[in-house]
Structure 1
Amino acid sequence: MRIPTDQFAAARRSFLRVALLGSAAALSACSLTGPGPGPREDAGAPNPNSAPATGSETLGNGPVKVALVLPLTQGSGASVVGVSMRNAAELAISEAGANDITLLVRDDRSTPGGAREATQTAISQGAELILGPLFAGDVRAAAEVAKGAGKPVIAFSTDLSTASRGVYLLSFLVENYVDRIVEFAASKGKKSIAVLAPENDYANVATGALQQAAARRDIRVALIERYKAGGVAASAANIGALGAQIDCLFIPEQAAAMPEVARALTASKIDPRAVQILGTGLWNDARVLGLPALQGAWFATPENAGFAAFAQRYRAKFGSDPTRVATLAYDSVSLAAALARTQGPRRFSEEVLTNPTGFNGADGVFRFKPDGSNERGLAVVQINNGTTTVISPAPRTL
């Protein structure tokens, strides 16, 4: 680990001061772990408890202008995710950054055309850095404009193909989840793994990442079973037939589908005491945690305490619960304000943004890589009696 300079140390201290308190129970109503990696994630229905979305808004009064491009609207109504992220940005400004940056909040209308227009407008108004958008297609459109103007982007999509030099992803990447859980499994002596995965974009990415992570750690991939809707039982039976040939099973499935998967595991006599079940951060959901077939399973996730503290402050200010990805807006705005305060003219340069020491946010430590991807400090948790227990804490430094 490279020791940070005094300036970087100051930036990290001032970036985010979150008391790590609360518990996993505080998150039970806010289980969205992050939008999927496809081209268009669901932004949700209107939320009557959220502030109304506006197409153009300014927060803060600092000398450095930063744009925040969000899907505040989708179709004819407000977007739960977009409005929650906008509220999180206001919380960040009120806590730390009102005198450091002027935040230009712009609605991309959940479309690439809207993202392109919002980015062009913000840059013409002096924005030095673009935060957002959320959806993959919108990130590509905004990045094209920003790159043409020489402005960096910190975006929120989980589609790694949207990342590039100067376009950094702050999102929860499935590749990080997979690498962390495979690393932990290898450290516990696991040697042979099978994969039970649906045929969708998320599982495609997760399965590819699993194969690479397993190869790096000398874990044999014994079988990869892919299934279409309604076909999980047959695929689980094929894995069950492996018996003692495997000591762990990776299942990159969404929370809503896991009850059906769990029934298939039981029917196939896959004993979780003999075969360690592994998943991703999508399992941080009450629909998964209570399943008998998943008790004892492991998955990687950001530690819950930081989000719990953030959510408590959010509820106090807005009277409603934040969506799980609201921390992306909070952290990006907090980071922009801290860098504007401490880094002078080089504040949003590639050298500063890709500092290998990284930064500390509501979801723990993270850093941007020069190719635009990110690394996050993730915990490994075990499902026990309908809740989770941390069995490998998230690192505090990278």
Structure 2
Amino acid sequence: MFATLRTPRNPLLRLGAVLSVFWLAACEPIAGAGGGSGPKIDTNAAVPVALLVPAGSGNTGDETLAKSLRQAADLAISDLNGVKIDLRVYNTGGSAAQAGAMASKAVDEGAKIILGPVFAESANAVGLAVADKGVNVLSFSNNTDIAGGNVFVLGPSFPNTANRLASYAAAQGKRRILVVNDQTTAGEIGAKAIEGAISRSGAQLAGVASYPFSQQGVTGAVPAIAQRVKSGDVDALFMTADTAGALPMLAQLLPDNGVNPGQTKFIGLTRWDIPQATLALPGLQGGWFALPDPSLNQRFKSRYEAAFGEAPHPIAGLAYDGIAAIGALVKSGRADALTRGALTQPSGFVGVNGIFRLRNDGTNERGLAVAEIRNSQVVVIDPAPRSFGAGF
């Protein structure tokens, strides 16, 4: 988030980013390295699992996140009904080099799979460090650039979200879609994801409009975007902006420049309900975004708060999901339960955010709900699927 986007007129821009913070510059995936198999496990003993968290960096936010990930993993283990997991926690210090060293140490000490770390560069380093040892990595990153070989990403990815929303938009007759993105790494990656999703959905790309990531950049770009919309062949604006960046400005300035959200649907690649104050923005009423299964997610939050007396970090559920997947596979009683073939089973898994499955290319597919903002409230208009059935 840039200071140039913070203005008294737009108080929401002062609030911290939540879900886009884990994007870093692209890293090289470890193509084919260690990805064809995985270690054998002793099905009669507790399975050693390494959890890599960003503690030890000296950053308060990292410490809070690390604690929440550990607690979510512990909660998941308590739900495994007889499956024994020997969870071993390693601190990465928020450093890629330390993350790689801790991963090697964990495997030398017997870990059969690695859960974490959070940041893309660290996850890439971990994958490289243990690739020749045949150990798979379930990272918390959402950066699909690092996926592949022995590295999987558990975080919600732009392509998955874009596919869900573009498909829904096309089915609702919103078939001419203009992509609007900020000129940042995440914005450009998000725009590419949306373009691909539009193509796969059968909708039509009505163009791409980008803006410099600054208050002046947004202000200067909006009139041309509005003019493009008013030309008459745009059904929807699919925006990469998040609530801590340009979204509040776009929600205000686009209607000010004659774009009617009642006619041209606003669609968001990021969560528009975090922070909740975003829901009150007039320009976002009627807008669509995707989110995990709300009922399952709320159940997790309630159980976490009851167990630990505090709310979970927004991505803590990924640690629960990772343990849930490992536990489900170990429960099968197979010595090859943690190999690539097992991890990528088509039926997938059920976690605190709904169904998900890991793909052969290291990315993930998650079942998401489509929500609309109505009267400053989130209303689910297309529920998240509960299984990976035909046609999902």
Q: TM-score range by the shorter chain?
A: 0.7 to 0.9
Unaligned runs of 5+ in 2: 1-14, 27-43
Contact between 1:154 and 1:332, CA under 8 Å: does it hold in 2?
yes
Contact between 2:336 and 2:342, CA under 8 Å: does it hold in 1?
yes
1:174-226 residue CA offsets vs partner (Å, 9 max, x unmatched): 11111110000000112211122111111111110111121223323223221
Matched, 1:91 2:75: yes
Aligned twin of 2:225? 239
Aligned twin of 2:206? 222
TM-score with structure 2 setting the length: 0.85
Matched position secondary structure for 1:104 = strand
Among 165, 172, 176, the alignment partner of 2:149 is 165
Matched position secondary structure for 1:79 = helix
Among 234, 241, 261, the alignment partner of 1:272 is 261
Matched position secondary structure for 2:114 = strand
Q: Distance in 2 between matches of 1:240 and 1:272?
A: 11
Q: Distance in 1 between matches of 2:22 and 2:294?
A: 20
Matched position secondary structure for 2:277 = helix
Greater shift in the superposed pair: 73-82 or 186-195: 73-82
Q: Distance in 2 between matches of 1:216 and 1:81?
A: 36
Q: Distance in 2 between matches of 1:281 and 1:362?
A: 19
Among 263, 270, 273, the alignment partner of 1:284 is 273
Query: Aligned ranges for residues 175-324 of structure 1 at < 5 Å?
Result: 175-228=159-212, 229-230=214-215, 231-242=217-228, 243=230, 244-257=232-245, 258-285=247-274, 286-324=276-314
Matched, 1:358 2:348: yes
Q: Which amino acid aligns with 2:84?
A: D
1:203-257 residue CA offsets vs partner (Å, 9 max, x unmatched): 1111101111212233232232211112212322112113122010011111123
Greater shift in the superposed pair: 320-329 or 209-218: 209-218
Aligned twin of 1:72? 55
Q: Distance in 1 between matches of 2:284 and 2:219?
A: 16
* CA 1:198–1:139: 2 relative to 1, 3 Å: same
Aligned twin of 2:357? 367
* CA 1:31–1:204: 2 relative to 1, 3 Å: closer
Q: Which amino acid aligns with 1:251?
A: M
| Identity %, equivalent residues | 32
Count how many residue pairs are aligned between Structure 1 and Structure 2.
350
* CA 1:355–1:76: 2 relative to 1, 3 Å: closer
Contact between 1:196 and 1:235, CA under 8 Å: does it hold in 2?
no
Q: Distance in 2 between matches of 1:138 and 1:183?
A: 33
1:129-181 residue CA offsets vs partner (Å, 9 max, x unmatched): 11111100100111011212111111111111110032111110011111110
Matched position secondary structure for 1:106 = strand
Q: Which amino acid aligns with 2:55?
A: L
Matched, 1:37 2:20: no
The alpha-carbon deviation at position 71 of structure 1 amounts to 0.7
Q: What RMSD over aligned residues (CA atoms) do the two structures have, in Å?
A: 2.1
Q: Distance in 1 between matches of 2:165 and 2:313?
A: 24
Give 4+ residue runs of structure 1 displaced > 4 Å after superposition.
none
Matched position secondary structure for 1:381 = strand
